[in-house]
């Protein structure tokens, strides 16, 4: 870490070098676990501009943040996405720019995003079965999404990962299909436990599967835990000597899940969120209008961090004020 930078460390000793930045609340998929009725506009969007995002990235870099992940909604619905990537890439200290996408136009756009400075790519794919994919997402786009992943591999992204929400109907039946998928592809597939939000109580009760099911399936077949980068996300990944890729699990209901938290979130409208399942937030937007307020911006972020809780309260069925995952990008 460069000298003169005060790292973000909370009262529990956790260091925050990773920020997930939502750049839109809009999504063009209708995933059953997130937006089953599709996204509906209820008022002006007023999302952060590339200039505001650039000022935010400079402030974060000055606090030791080295990785920014673009999320949504679906980030690719923004026509100025390449400008946003370029603005962040121009900030000294930001070493990794990642994005999570549903992959709907990945094959067509990946080269432009890579050229703009995107370094890491995550693609949401909840099933390799066409009918199941259509039933979950509301779209018959599986073939195109998978073609986009192969395009990403050919373009030389530092990493290409796949996110798959763990659902009762697709759990163990899909594990072998994914193991076959990563046999010759250097892709990390991560199963994400379904999480309780304000609007999905019944769906959660009917579909939640513990991440332990993934771990047991992998260990029974000779997969072993792999290392985790210091600025990585919460996934625990497993490797196998006969497979080029990895399979992992993100299990927010597992004991100690929050102990190694290293990430903060900023909403598409410029509000700092200390936890996906917290409440409220700290507005940063008034300090993003020019580059003359960097000191105040960093002070506000550092001060807010003092209020970060030790962990979420999902085990008590308390998801904070998060209504659906599309609001903050998961």
Per the domain annotation, does 47 fall within a domain? yes
Beta bridge partners of 18: 67, 263
Into how many domains does the chain fold? Answer: 1
In whole angstroms, give the CA distance from residue 157 to residue 117. 10
**326 close to 73: Cβ distance less than 8 angstroms:** yes
Closest CA to 103 of 54, 62, 55, 152: 152
Per the domain annotation, does 8 fall within a domain? no
In whole angstroms, give the CA distance from residue 22 to residue 45. 13
Per the domain annotation, does 259 fall within a domain? yes
Per the domain annotation, does 298 fall within a domain? yes
Per the domain annotation, does 217 fall within a domain? yes
Structural domain containing residue 39: 18-327
Beta bridge partners of 166: 193
CB under 8 Å to 291, separation ≥6 — which residues? 55, 58
Could you give the C-alpha distances from 132 to 144, 173, 205, in angstroms and in order?
15, 12, 20
What one-character DSSP code corresponds to residue 128?
A: S
Per the domain annotation, does 140 fall within a domain? yes
**123 close to 160: Cβ distance less than 8 angstroms:** yes
- Record the pTM: 0.92
- Please report which helix (H) or strand (E) contains residue 162, including its range: strand 159-166
Per the domain annotation, does 11 fall within a domain? no
Orientation angle between helical segments 81-89 and 50-61, nearest 10 degrees: 30
CATH of the domain at 33: 3.20.20.70
- Please report which helix (H) or strand (E) contains residue 86, including its range: helix 81-89
Along the 330 residues of the chain, how does pLDDT read in single tens digits? 444 567 899 999 999 999 999 999 999 999 999 888 888 877 777 999 999 999 999 999 999 999 999 999 999 999 999 999 999 999 999 999 999 999 999 999 999 999 999 999 999 999 999 999 999 999 999 999 999 999 999 999 999 999 999 999 888 778 999 999 999 999 999 999 998 877 778 888 999 999 999 999 999 999 999 977 666 678 899 999 999 999 999 988 787 778 888 899 999 999 999 887 777 789 999 999 998 999 999 999 999 999 888 877 666 665 556 565 655 555
Per the domain annotation, does 1 fall within a domain? no
Structure token pair of residue 100: 């999570």
**214 close to 223: Cβ distance less than 8 angstroms:** no
Burial class (CB in 10 A: 0-12, 13-18, 19+), 208: middle
């Amino acid at each position: 870490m460069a000298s003169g930078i005060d790292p973000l460390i909370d009262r529990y000793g956790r260091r925050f070098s990773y920020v997930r930045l939502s750049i839109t609340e809009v999504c063009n998929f209708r995933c059953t676990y997130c937006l089953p009725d599709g996204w509906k506009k209820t008022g002006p969007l007023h999302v952060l501009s590339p200039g505001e995002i650039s000022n935010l990235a400079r402030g974060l870099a000055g606090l030791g943040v080295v990785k920014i992940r673009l999320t949504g909604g679906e980030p690719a619905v923004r026509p100025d996405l390449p400008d946003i990537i370029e603005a962040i890439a121009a900030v000294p200290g930001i070493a990794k720019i990642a994005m999570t996408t549903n992959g709907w136009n990945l094959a067509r756009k990946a080269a432009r995003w890579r050229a703009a400075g995107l370094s890491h790519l995550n693609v949401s794919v909840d099933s390799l079965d066409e009918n199941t994919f259509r039933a979950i997402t509301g779209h018959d786009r599986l073939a195109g999404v998978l073609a986009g992943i192969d395009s990403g591999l050919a373009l030389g992204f530092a990493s290409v990962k796949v996110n798959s929400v763990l659902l009762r109907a697709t759990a163990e039946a899909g594990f072998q299909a994914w193991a076959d998928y990563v046999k010759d592809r250097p892709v990390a597939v991560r199963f994400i436990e379904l999480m309780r939000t304000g609007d999905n109580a019944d769906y959660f009760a009917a579909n939640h599967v513990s991440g332990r099911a993934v771990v047991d399936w992998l260990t029974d077949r000779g997969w072993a835990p792999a290392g985790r980068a210091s600025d990585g996300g919460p996934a625990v990944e497993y490797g196998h000597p006969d497979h080029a890729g990895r399979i992992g699990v993100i299990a927010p209901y597992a004991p100690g899940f929050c102990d190694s938290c290293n990430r903060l979130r900023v909403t598409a409208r410029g509000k700092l969120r200390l936890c996906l399942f917290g409440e409220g937030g700290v507005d940063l937007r008034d300090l993003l209008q020019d580059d003359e307020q960097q000191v105040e911006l960093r002070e506000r972020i550092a001060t807010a961090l003092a209020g970060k809780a030790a962990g979420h309260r999902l085990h008590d069925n308390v998801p904070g004020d998060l209504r659906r995952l599309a609001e903050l990008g998961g």
